Structure 1
Amino acid sequence: MSSSSSHSVLLNTGVQMPLLGLGTYKLVGPEDVYQAVDAALVAGYRAFDSAAVYRNEADLGRALNELLPKHGLTREDVFITSKLGPKDQGERAMEGALRSLSQLDLDYIDLYLIHWPGNRSQSWAALEELHAQGKLKAIGVSNYTPAHMRELMQSCKIPPALLQVEFHPRLCQTELRRVCEEYGVCFQAYSSLGKGELVTDPVVMEVAKNCERTPAQVLLRWAVQQGVPVLPKSSNPDRVKDNSRLFDFTLSDTDMDRLSALDCEHKYCWDPSEVV
């Protein structure tokens, strides 16, 4: 992938991945997907995150096929992530990954993740095979705990390039980030706004007011300032644009510390800790 932006992170595959991507969870239907992708490309997004369970891979593929030429871009200018659905993990993993490729109408997917830590070993072997074939340029996991990560690192032939998990000031994931750093795995955030609840947190609002930014921009900046890629999602073109304005301001050390002090290990999304 080529990109005019220097705001990226180097994966252990040697590929640069943008720090900012458009999350497409709950973007349903061709019109919503097209509108969001169009607005994102205008705003400078060059990464897009989907999943089999989002049921929008085909709509994303069609939108990109139409919009990339419109914006003077090629397939190589964007970074596409998708994920293996839990129902396809195990012996159906190969079939599930190939279905994602077909739905997206792509020759390759830049990054493909196991979405949930159930039935892990057989799924990972299938992803390794497709990676070796060049159909999945990088492979990784989502919603893994430190124990899941250590288990995978001991058994894999190809190490994961990335772990995508819930991450925000109320869930700083200190141990998980340490494990990723130890193994050279990129740590990526989803649900940076805590399902929208964190934008009304008094500390977040005060920091935003002081630096004349939106609470959402502050929450996203808190992550990228730590080198953590983010995936804000919205179908509103104005919000898509606002969420991209992360790289023209810096939070002070004091503000970063105040936000990090909100950590109470609170999860708004899935809790994989009980998956053995």
Structure 2
Amino acid sequence: WARVGTMESVVTLNNGVKMPMVGLGTFQIKSEDIFHQTLDSALGCGYRLIDTAAVYKNEHLITSCLPELLEKYGLKREDVFVTTKLGPKDLSEEMVEGAVEASLKKMGLDYVDLYLIHWPGRQGVKGGDGVNVCCRRGVWKRIEEIYLKSGKIKSIGISNYLLKHLVEMSEYWTVVPAVLQNEFHPDYVDYDVIKFCKDNGIHFQSYSSLGQARLVDDPRFIEIAEKYRKTVAQVLLKWSLQHGCSVIPKSTQKSHIEENAKIFDFEISDEDLEIIGKVGTNTKYAWDPQHVV
């Protein structure tokens, strides 16, 4: 099991880039005021990673908030790790460069720290359509070029890829993805994907670590949470960290943002880690890429 010490803890990716183990998810945060308050709270209690995406339609809020907040906390751009993602509508070799440029312009940034393919299928293409295979390959090769030649992307990776997508990808990648960002919590653990990542030096980043908030009051975890004098949310985030996964919990409430950061003053025992895993129901709460061929 992994041991992670503080909010300053980082993972060194396969290209040498250091990425914080705990970050702020921003899915569904579209109000400028709420985004500003959320990012202010997060930076104030030690978060140094912001996760967004083209499909979240909030990239532009980074440029309206980040410069002011960096100054407030005495930080520089390089102190904050920013992730964004290629939207499914742009999963085309011809559209990648324009999508990268559009994201950078919206965020007001010269570079992004991590750029992910958000989804293994192109918007509007049927799940079993062979077009997706060509799209994935062409897009990855183009992203590799931008990463290697432009300086506008510091690390590259994928999201929502299953084992079948990863195996296929391994046949054409030149640059091994630095990160795979997938759903991960006690109710949904894809051990085949995790093993593939470990075997190939790909860091696994967990999203929906709290089951999209469905698990935070789940009675299955309350007894263990009480044992450690922590909330269920804190225990579930720690559970992911101790599996070696980084986490990007999303909350707009200052109290929850602070709570999610207070997960470094305890360790879950090996026995309790096993117990938490064994009560899982093999339930996926986020979108399912199983049908994308």
Deviations 1:105-144 (A, max 9, x none): 1111000000000231121122112101111100000000
- Look up the SS of the partner of 1:219 in the other structure: helix
- Aligned equivalent of 1:258: 275
Deviation at 1:153, TM superposition (A): 1.6
- Aligned equivalent of 1:194: 211
Query: Which of 142, 161, 164 does residue 126 from structure 1 map onto?
Result: 142
Deviation at 1:89, TM superposition (A): 1.0
CA distance in 1, matches of 2:73, 2:240: 28
Deviation at 1:265, TM superposition (A): 2.2
- Amino acid corresponding to residue 39 of structure 2 in structure 1: V
Deviations 1:59-84 (A, max 9, x none): 02321111001100000101100000
Structure 2 counterparts to residues 36-115 of structure 1, below 5 A: 36-90=38-92, 91-115=94-118
**Structure 1 pair 243–177 and aligned structure 2 pair: CA distance change class (3 A):** same
- Amino acid corresponding to residue 66 of structure 1 in structure 2: E
Answer whether contact 1:81 1:112 (CA < 8 A) is retained: yes
CA distance in 2, matches of 1:140, 1:63: 26
**4+ runs of 1 displaced by more than 4 Å?**
none
Pair 1:220 & 2:223 matched:
no
- Aligned equivalent of 1:205: 222
CA distance in 2, matches of 1:148, 1:121: 10
- Aligned equivalent of 2:157: 140
CA distance in 1, matches of 2:20, 2:54: 22
Structure 2: tracts of 5 or more residues without a match: 1-5, 122-134
Deviation at 1:244, TM superposition (A): 0.6
Percentage identity across paired residues of the two chains? 45
- Aligned equivalent of 2:127: none
CA distance in 2, matches of 1:204, 1:120: 39
Deviation at 1:264, TM superposition (A): 3.0
RMSD across aligned positions (CA): 1.2
- Look up the SS of the partner of 1:205 in the other structure: helix
CA distance in 2, matches of 1:167, 1:263: 11
CA distance in 1, matches of 2:47, 2:26: 13
Q: Aligned pairs, how many?
A: 273
Task: With the length of structure 1 as denominator, give the TM-score of the two structures.
Answer: 0.96
CA distance in 2, matches of 1:5, 1:86: 32
- Look up the SS of the partner of 1:199 in the other structure: coil
CA distance in 2, matches of 1:177, 1:162: 11
CA distance in 1, matches of 2:77, 2:291: 39
Pair 1:26 & 2:28 matched:
yes
Deviations 1:202-242 (A, max 9, x none): 22111111111011101000001122000100111111111
Deviation at 1:173, TM superposition (A): 1.4
- Look up the SS of the partner of 1:150 in the other structure: helix
CA distance in 1, matches of 2:286, 2:242: 23
Greater mean deviation of Cα atoms: 123-132 or 215-224: 123-132
Answer whether contact 1:111 1:137 (CA < 8 A) is retained: yes
- Amino acid corresponding to residue 188 of structure 1 in structure 2: Q
CA distance in 1, matches of 2:104, 2:169: 24
Deviations 1:22-76 (A, max 9, x none): 0000111211110000000011000010000001101023211110011000001
CA distance in 1, matches of 2:186, 2:279: 6
Deviation at 1:200, TM superposition (A): 2.2
Deviation at 1:266, TM superposition (A): 1.1
Task: With the length of structure 2 as denominator, give the TM-score of the two structures.
Answer: 0.91
- Amino acid corresponding to residue 26 of structure 2 in structure 1: T
